[in-house]
């Protein structure tokens, strides 16, 4: 695949556009879960205004009363075009896509296609907590194949888990998080090819959650799982929701490779009734016309990663932070602070700053917190000040 350099867009940094007073007027989960004296840097929402092309597409639709059911393949076409321009991937065939309500419900539906009740779903903890909840809720068994100490997939551990998962002739799936939430790890083509080889060897089906794919820093390549040799048996979930902050206007896409198209074709028609038409409109506009905004966001996130690293070194030098190459999440190892398994509680109650507790991320999560960097440098600075105060 040809590497496509990301441009510098000349757009203003969207992370600097909104002040705290304005943000506190929001009614979404990030801003309404804790009292007003708590600074929220937890759930993965971004403190940005919407990209202008998204606002325009939504307001045009509202002005027209275009609020019926979704139709057509515009979202998938926009994603295919984005994938080619951004990642040099020409293999996304619109005919092998299906619109789904959101990424997690898409994950559930894909797992339903390739596994049965009681079968194993392998995940790489520490990982996005709903991977555990949604998989358990659909009556599958979660099998943990922890990331290695370098936050990369440990292929030896993965192989052991694949072997155990298919024992007795059972079906099994690997729910890959790519890029990885919370560590920001961007899996390489070599790693993903090795995953595909193992999956093939053991007959494990790969479902790749690629929601964070557009949020990869400039000089790192995102590699779509379906693009690697052997990846064509996989199923991917993609969405504009994380990169353009569109979780409230729901839609996502399931994408099949050539060898999994027959599975995707079995997706029940009613699943396509879940996504919102306004969601599809917003996501399409983001992918089609929102790349300049995205580039400005990525530049801002890069600044924030460096800012956080500097602030931690100054105020909380015991906290270990290895900036990842993707997502807007920072995974902080607070074990040296001696605050026990759930330091997020201490930061919340003594520092009045809300971070995500590491424990629900599974093995390797205890003693960690996840900090959401998609906010202004001022808020990050204040958050670290509060975290340091909590230790006094
Ligand atoms: C890895 C991952 N998958 C899925 C989601 C949720 O996506 P959706 O709202 O489309 O279900 C998130 C949200 O943060 C995420 O980080």
Segments of the chain scoring below 50 in pLDDT: 1-4
- CATH code of the domain made up of 14-49+291-390: 3.90.1150.10
Q: Distance between CA 337 and CA 183 in Å, rounded?
A: 20
| C-alpha of residue 157 to centroid of ligand 1, in Å | 25
pLDDT for 4 equals: 46
Numbered ranges of CATH 3.90.1150.10 in the chain: 14-49+291-390
Between the CA of 287 and the centroid of ligand 1 the distance, in Å, is 17
Nearest-angstrom CA–CA distance, 5 and 8: 10
pLDDT at site 185: 98
Pocket of ligand 1 (CB under 6 A): 44, 102-104, 128, 177, 181, 209, 211, 239, 241-242, 247, 252
Instruction: Choose which residue among 133, 181, 207 to substitute to test ligand 1 binding: the one with the highest number of ligand atoms within 8 A of its C-beta.
Output: 181
Reading the block at residue 68, the tokens are 């019926």
How remote is the CA of residue 238 from the centroid of ligand 1, in Å? 10
Alpha-carbon separation of residue 238 from 52, 144, 214, 367, 385 (angstroms): 22, 23, 10, 31, 36
User: Which ligand 1 atom is nearest residue 102's CA?
Assistant: 10
Q: Using CA atoms, how far apart are residues 84 and 43, in angstroms rounded to an integer? A: 30
The rounded Å distance from CA 211 to ligand 1 centre is 6
Closest atom of ligand 1 to 241 CA is 10
- Rounded distance, CA 240 to CA 278, Å? 13
Pick the CATH number of 54-289 from 3.10.290.10, 3.40.640.10, 3.90.79.10, 3.40.50.300: 3.40.640.10
Ligand 1 atom showing the smallest separation from residue 252 Cα = 10
Whole-number Å distance, alpha carbon 183 to ligand 1 midpoint, is 14
Which pTM value belongs to this model? 0.97
Ligand 1 centroid – CA 103 distance (Å): 6
pLDDT on residue 87: 97
pLDDT in tens, 217-250: 878 999 999 999 999 999 999 999 999 999 999 9
pLDDT tens-digit map of 170-228: 999 999 999 999 999 999 999 999 999 999 999 999 999 999 999 998 789 999 999 99
Dist. CA 30–CA 36, nearest whole Å: 11
Residues of the chain with CATH 3.40.640.10: 54-289
Residue 7: its pLDDT value, please? 52
CA distance 61 to 59: 5
Q: Tokens 């959401």 label which residue?
A: 372
C-alpha of residue 188 to centroid of ligand 1, in Å: 21
Question: Nearest residue CA, atom 7 of ligand 1?
Answer: 103
Both tokens assigned to 293: 């905004």
* Predicted pLDDT of residue 6: 55
pLDDT of residue 146: 98
Nearest-CA residue for atom 13 of ligand 1:
44
Distance between CA 8 and CA 259 in Å, rounded? 37
């Amino acid at each position: 695949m040809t590497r496509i350099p990301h441009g510098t867009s000349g757009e203003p940094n969207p992370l600097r556009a909104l002040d705290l007073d304005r943000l506190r007027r929001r009614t979404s989960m990030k801003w309404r879960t804790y009292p007003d004296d708590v600074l929220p840097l937890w759930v993965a929402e971004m403190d940005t205004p919407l990209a202008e092309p998204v606002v325009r597409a939504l307001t045009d639709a509202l002005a027209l009363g275009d609020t019926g059911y979704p139709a057509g393949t515009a979202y998938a076409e926009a994603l295919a075009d984005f994938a080619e321009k951004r990642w040099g991937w020409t293999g996304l065939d619109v005919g092998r896509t299906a619109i789904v309500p959101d990424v997690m419900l898409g994950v559930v539906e894909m797992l339903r296609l390739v596994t049965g009740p009681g079968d194993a779903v392998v995940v790489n903890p520490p990982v996005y907590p709903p991977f555990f909840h949604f998989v358990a809720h659909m009556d599958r068994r979660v099998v943990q194949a922890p990331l290695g100490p370098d936050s990369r997939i440990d292929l030896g551990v993965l192989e052991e888990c694949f072997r155990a998962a298919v024992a007795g002739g059972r079906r099994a799936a690997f729910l890959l998080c790519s890029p990885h939430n919370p560590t920001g790890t961007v899996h390489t083509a070599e790693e993903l090819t090795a995953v595909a080889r193992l999956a093939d060897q053991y007959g494990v089906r790969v479902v790749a959650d690629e929601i964070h794919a557009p949020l990869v820093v400039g000089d790192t390549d995102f590699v779509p799982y379906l693009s690697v040799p052997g990846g064509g048996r996989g199923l991917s979930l993609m969405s504009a929701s994380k990169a353009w902050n569109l979780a409230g206007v729901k839609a996502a896409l399931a994408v099949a490779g050539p060898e999994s198209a027959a599975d995707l074709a079995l997706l029940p028609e009613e699943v396509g009734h879940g996504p919102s038409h306004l969601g599809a409109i917003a996501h399409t506009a983001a992918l089609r016309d929102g790349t300049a905004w995205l580039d400005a966001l990525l530049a801002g996130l890069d600044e924030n990663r460096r800012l956080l690293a500097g602030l931690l070194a100054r105020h909380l030098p015991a906290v270990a932070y290895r900036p990842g190459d993707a997502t807007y999440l920072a995974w902080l190892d607070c074990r040296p602070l001696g605050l026990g398994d759930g330091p997020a509680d201490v930061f919340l109650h003594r520092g009045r700053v809300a971070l995500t507790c590491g424990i629900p991320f599974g093995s390797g999560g205890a003693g960690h917190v996840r900090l959401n960097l998609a906010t202004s440098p001022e808020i990050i600075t204040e958050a670290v000040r509060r975290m340091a105060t909590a230790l006094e």
